[in-house]
Amino acid sequence: MGLLEGNDQLYYAGSQQFVADGVRTSFTIDNFVSSISTGNDIYVYVNNYLVDTGWIWQTPSVVFSVAPEVNSNILVVLKNHSYGGYRYTSLSEIVNNFIVAYIGDGKLVSRANRRDVVFHAKRAIQEFSYDISRVEKIQEVEVGASLTIPMPRDYVNYVALSYVDQYGIEHPIPLGRISSKPSQAIAQDNDGNYMFSNNNLDETSSITDQRFDNLDGDDISGIQNSYNQVYDADFASEMLIEPGKRYGGEPELMNKNGMFIIDEANGTFNFSSNLAGRIITIKYISDGLGTDDEMKVHKLAEEAIYKYIAHAILSTLSYIPEYVVNRFKRERRAAMRNAKLRLYNLKMSEMTNVMRGKSKHIKH
């Protein structure tokens, strides 16, 4: 039996069409029912007119309170339709396939709890998301007056932050390693002594935050707005002796893109003042377990997942010889290496175009 289900309309349009017979009130969705949780996930059209009332969603069917007229054309459309799902194998399929292939009488693992397999499968998805598949999510937001943006809900680590110019081109924003976000600003009296209330330290607003919010990037990069200063002898001497000028500047600071710092304690990104009102893209990686739809594995890495689960289970069983555990450890590493190479998706034609015209030697 083939792996493809449904027809072309179900995939390309994310919809299913019916013709009413004047009696039938229930119309069953065949394929994308797993993507529907409530009636808010679909549009229902009758004779090309959007219908908001008179029907309810009862999995897996659209049920009308009154049967549509005979020969009426009914179209059910998925609101958030995505493509390319054939590339992936779901978590449930991974678990079922592993149990069939690896667990049972006469097999390497005679018995194992399904919950153990699910646990190790989820851990495998997490590890693969960090190092192998690395599906980057991109969130677009605008920096407000507070110059602070919360981390995405399923954020694990950032890949890159950029601001988008008027042409939609991204400009990388470097991490401000020269500053930090204090998690606690302690109140002090005029003599520098700590202040307390009810035996607890008093806190105040962070001066570091205030100064970073007012940062002028030109003060760090040494960029001068007046070309006349180039001919100023005093300015020339300042470049040699004063910190923050171009002499001895670090490349990461020699830009006008601003900078950001991360507040790990409160889960926010904080930006310099020149980025206020800018559109920011946050590229980040998740662990692949945020939603049910994310818990899937690319088919190019499917074999590596099985090897990972097998090694993880075998290493916890006391009756498995150590040489067998080590064998699967080696097989797991080899499978993960192959999966990483496959998912790098290297194309010779693309590499040739990138390197064309560049005087570089490619080592083999």
pLDDT digits (tens, 9 = 90+) for 296-328: 888 898 999 999 999 999 999 888 899 999 999
Residue-range domain boundaries for the chain = 8-78, 88-132+295-343, 136-215+259-285
Long-range contacts at 182-189 (CB < 8 A, ≥ 24 apart) = 182/206, 182/208, 182/209, 183/263, 183/265, 183/266, 185/209
In the sheet that holds 136-142, the strands lie side by side as 136-142, 279-285, 157-164, 170-172
Q: What is the pLDDT of residue 331?
A: 93
Distances (CA, A) of 73 to 47, 50, 129, 350: 5, 12, 44, 47
Question: Counting Cβ atoms within 10 Å, is residue 55 exposed (0-12), middle (13-18) or buried (19+)?
Answer: buried
Paired tokens of 302: 């499917």
Long-range contacts at 248-257 (CB < 8 A, ≥ 24 apart) = 249/221, 249/222, 252/174, 252/177, 253/174, 253/178, 253/220, 253/221, 254/221, 254/222, 255/174, 255/217, 255/221, 256/217, 256/218, 256/221, 256/223, 257/163, 257/171, 257/172, 257/173, 257/174, 257/217
Q: Measure CA 213 to chain center.
A: 27
Q: What is the pLDDT of residue 241?
A: 46
β-strand partners of 158 = 284
- DSSP line for 163-182: EE-TTS-EEE--B-TT----
Cis, peptide link before residue 174, omega less than 30° from 0: no
Q: What is the pLDDT of residue 84?
A: 76
Paired tokens of 73: 């054309």
Q: Residue 209: how many CB atoms within 10 A of its CB?
A: 19
Residues 154-171 have a mean pLDDT of 91
pLDDT at 330 over 90: yes
Q: How confident is the model at residue 71 (pLDDT cuts 50, 70, 90)?
A: very high
Whether 306 contacts 300, CB under 8 Å:
no
- Looking at the chain, the number of H-run helices and the number of E-run strands are 9, 18
Q: What is the pLDDT of residue 229?
A: 45
Q: Tell me the pTM.
A: 0.68
Q: Where are the beta strands (DSSP E) in 178-327?
A: 196-197, 200-201, 260-263, 268-271, 279-285, 296-298
Torsion of CA 89, 91, 97, 102, to 10 degrees: 130
| CA 294/CA 89 separation, integer angstroms | 11
| 107-156 confidence digits (pLDDT tens) | 888 888 899 999 999 999 998 888 887 778 899 999 998 889 999 988 99
| 204-241 confidence digits (pLDDT tens) | 888 888 887 777 666 666 555 544 444 444 544 444 44
DSSP symbol at 361: P
Q: What percent of the chain has pLDDT over 70?
A: 84
Q: What is the pLDDT of residue 217?
A: 64
Which alpha helices (H) appear in 34-113, and where do they start and end? Answer: 91-102
| CA 129/CA 45 separation, integer angstroms | 39
Q: Which helix (H) or strand (E) holds 137?
A: strand 136-142
